[in-house]
Each structure stands twice: as structure tokens, then as C-alpha cells.
């Protein structure tokens, strides 16, 4: 399973990339605002240069014509750029147009199997179901992932499943068990994935024994 980093923080992306844990990046207007960078095109190009993998930049237009124009502009920034399009009726029109021009699209804000089926038929390269937000309203986000993976396998769609809105390590574990292609993970969750209290306890014991061994030889 590939790990995309869900962030526009270039330093966090560099750090995780150096660990070998970054296959791509997803951004959105909220993450761009959090990064405090107004030169968003320049930031996207900088991220692409670091990652050398798929980097999703999101359109802000709401009509199909505007989405297509903005998508073309974003795609022209760098060969690694993937255009994020919201899954609306206008979005489906934009996905079909851009995909027909061999521009990779990440269909975002997906919350149902219906939506996932439609974006695959429209030609999206990626689909991003938001599991955390579904959990927030009492629905089972991981069940949606299971359903999408099954339907895509049934019909051999090329669209890759990006598990989005990941909130904790079990979202990542469940995604891997269900056969999702990608999880897009915030930097703080990457740090939680490596943590385990027994690792800390074992390391502390090893170090204590080492100090005792060093002291006994003096």
C-alpha cells in the first residue's frame, strides 16, 4: 500500500520522504491555508520537486467550465501534479473532460459507493473516500472502503482508492487489510504508527541493562 502525506507543510513532507514513507502528497485549500503560503502554485511545484510522485492540488471553482480551466492550469505546473475535483454533478463533467485529455484527476469528497462508481466511470485516476468524516456522523467509513474495493475489482476499474480523512493508526491498518491502494496520512498519524508502549518499555530496559554493564566494568 502506498502512503501519501496529507499536508502542505514542506518541511514535514521532506522529513517523511527521507524516511521512505512518502509515495505522494495530497493537499487542499484548508491545508494550504494552514501552511500560511499565499504562493500556492510555487508551493505545489516545490512539493513536486521533493516528492517526485503524485501531488494532488485542488481546484476552487464550482462550475464545470471553471474546474476544467483551473485543472488544466494546475496540471501544467508539473508532470507530477494530479488535479483534485470535488464529486459533484459539475465535478463529474470536469473529471470526464480532464481525464479525456490525459490529465490525472483525484475525485475528492466521496462519501458513498454511488459517487465512487460514477467517478470511476468518468475516468478518475484516484478516488478519495473520507472515512474519518463518515465516522464523525455515525457511519462506517471503512465499510465504504471495503465496498469500493470490491466493486472496482468486480469491474476491473483502473481508479486507485485513496483512503482519506485518516484520523488514527487503525484507519491505516484497516485500509491495508481491505486492499486499498493508498492511504493519505497526516504527519502526526505517521508518527503514531511507529509508536508502541512495549517498544518504549523494551528500549528503556535495554538501556538500563547497558548502563549497569558499563558500570560493572569500572
Residue 158 in this model has a pLDDT that exceeds 60 = yes
- Dump pLDDT digits (tens) for 175-204: 999 999 999 999 999 999 999 999 999 999
What is the rounded CA–CA span in Å between residue 43 and residue 212? 51
> Is residue 14 within 8 Å of 36, Cβ to Cβ?
no
How big is the chain by its Cα radius of gyration, in Å? Answer: 20
Closest CA to 89 of 74, 104, 67: 67
What is the rounded CA–CA span in Å between residue 141 and residue 79? 32
Residue 129 in this model has a pLDDT that exceeds 60 = yes
What secondary structure does DSSP assign to 84-111, as a single string?
A: EEESSHHHHHHHHHHHHTT--EEEEEE-
The region, left, alpha or beta by phi > 0 then psi within -120 to 50, assigned to residue 165 is left
Q: List, in sequence order, every residue forming a beta bridge with 126; answer none if it has no partner.
A: 106, 160
Q: Domain segments of the chain: what residues?
A: 2-216
Residues above pLDDT 70, as percent of the chain: 99
Mean pLDDT value across the chain: 96
Q: In the structure grid, which three cell numbers stand for residue 14, read together?
A: 521532506
Angle at 20 between CA 19 and CA 21, to 5 degrees: 90
Q: What does the pLDDT read at residue 38?
A: 86
Average pLDDT over residues 198-215: 91
The SS3 of residue 166 is: coil
How many other β-carbons are positioned within 10 Å of the β-carbon of residue 137?
8
Angle at 13 between CA 7 and CA 14, to 5 degrees: 165
Closest CA to 151 of 142, 141, 161, 139: 161
Q: What is the pTM of this model?
A: 0.94
**Which pLDDT band holds residue 217 (cuts at 50, 70, 90)?**
low
2-216 classified as CATH 3.40.30.10 = no
The SS3 of residue 3 is: strand
Closest CA to 95 of 109, 77, 113, 80: 109
Q: What does the pLDDT read at residue 218?
A: 53
Average pLDDT over residues 139-144: 98
What is the rounded CA–CA span in Å between residue 1 and residue 196? 21
Write phi, then psi, for 110 (nearest 5 degrees).
Answer: -95, 130
**Which pLDDT band holds residue 24 (cuts at 50, 70, 90)?**
very high
Residues above pLDDT 90, as percent of the chain: 94
- Dump pLDDT digits (tens) for 75-116: 999 999 999 999 999 999 999 999 999 999 999 999 999 999
Q: What does the pLDDT read at residue 215?
A: 82
Instruction: Indicate which residue of 2, 17, 34, 84 is catalytic.
Output: 84
Specify whether 84 is catalytic. yes
How many residues are recorded in the chain? 218
Amino acid at each position: 500500500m502506498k502512503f501519501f502525506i496529507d499536508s502542505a507543510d514542506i518541511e514535514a513532507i521532506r522529513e517523511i520522504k527521507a524516511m521512505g514513507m512518502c509515495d505522494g502528497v495530497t493537499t487542499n485549500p484548508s491545508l494550504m491555508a494552514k501552511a500560511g503560503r499565499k504562493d500556492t502554485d510555487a508551493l505545489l511545484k516545490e512539493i513536486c520537486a521533493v516528492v517526485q510522485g503524485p501531488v494532488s492540488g485542488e481546484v476552487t471553482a464550482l462550475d464545470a467550465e471553471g474546474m476544467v480551466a483551473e485543472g488544466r492550469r494546475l496540471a501544467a505546473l508539473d508532470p507530477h501534479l494530479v488535479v483534485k475535483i470535488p464529486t459533484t454533478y459539475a465535478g463529474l463533467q470536469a473529471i470526464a473532460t480532464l481525464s479525456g485529455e490525459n490529465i490525472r484527476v483525484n475525485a475528492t469528497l466521496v462519501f458513498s459507493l454511488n459517487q465512487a462508481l460514477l467517478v470511476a466511470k468518468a475516468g478518475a485516476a484516484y478516488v478519495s473516500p473520507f472515512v474519518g468524516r463518515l465516522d464523525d456522523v455515525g457511519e462506517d467509513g471503512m465499510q465504504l472502503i471495503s465496498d469500493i474495493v470490491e466493486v472496482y475489482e468486480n469491474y476491473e476499474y483502473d481508479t486507485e482508492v485513496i483512503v482519506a480523512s485518516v484520523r488514527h493508526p487503525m484507519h491505516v491498518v484497516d485500509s491495508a487489510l481491505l486492499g486499498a491502494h493508498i492511504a493519505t496520512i497526516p504527519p502526526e498519524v505517521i508518527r503514531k504508527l511507529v509508536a508502541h508502549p512495549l517498544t518504549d518499555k523494551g528500549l528503556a530496559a535495554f538501556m538500563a541493562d547497558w548502563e549497569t554493564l558499563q558500570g560493572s566494568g569500572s
